[in-house]
Amino acid sequence: MLFIISSPSGAGKSTLCSHLLCSNDEIGESISVTTRQARQSESDGIHYYFKTIQQYEDLVAKNEFLEHANFCGNYYGTLKSEIERIKTLGKTTILFDIDYQGARQIKAHDQFDIVSVFIMPPSFEILENRLRNRKTDSQDAILKRIESAKKEINFAGEYDYIIINDRLDVAKNEITSIYTAETLRRKRGKYINMIPDYLA
């Protein structure tokens, strides 16, 4: 199962992804490629694969990406090789932290079993406060992210589920419930096939 989580910057996507990963050993996280500068707390190959624009363009030319997009002036993408990397680790679910553009591209691939969740902020005022409190972006970058958020939220209806991240504890429970329900739904066929053995 491919489990896609999208949201505007500052809505809590990364926190909810971390919660799922810490709570479920069977989930592996896809690491995205980006051309943006690494933040002080980020490491190459752990948080992102940091590439130059030329390296990124070479990967595009070689058709190495499952999905790729431009966001706030930087390029992002998921390498096709990430699917196999995570499968070799024995994971049954692959978690994607990507925007609506990437989600659309992945959904266009018929071979994947996909669940998608969009995380909404309670309001744009709260979103702006969260972005400022991170102290990782310039004023110009924050304004770009807010404008981008207004565009991204228009696509929330394309997702299977929508969560409003007003209270983090509630949002964590909701994302866990979605994951658990979708996992059980996929086991249904296996359990139905076991019924004759119960009745024998």
Instruction: Show binding-site residues for ATP.
Output: 7-14
CB count in 10 Å sphere of residue 13 = 21
Beta strands 93-97; 114-120: pairing state: unpaired
DSSP category for residue 24: -
DSSP category for residue 21: H
> What string of DSSP letters covers 163-197?
EE-SSHHHHHHHHHHHHHHHHHHHHHHHHHHHHHH
CB count in 10 Å sphere of residue 12 = 23
* Angle between helical axes of 168-199 and 13-23 (0-180°, round to 10): 40
Instruction: Show binding-site residues.
Output: 7-14
Amino acid at 126: I
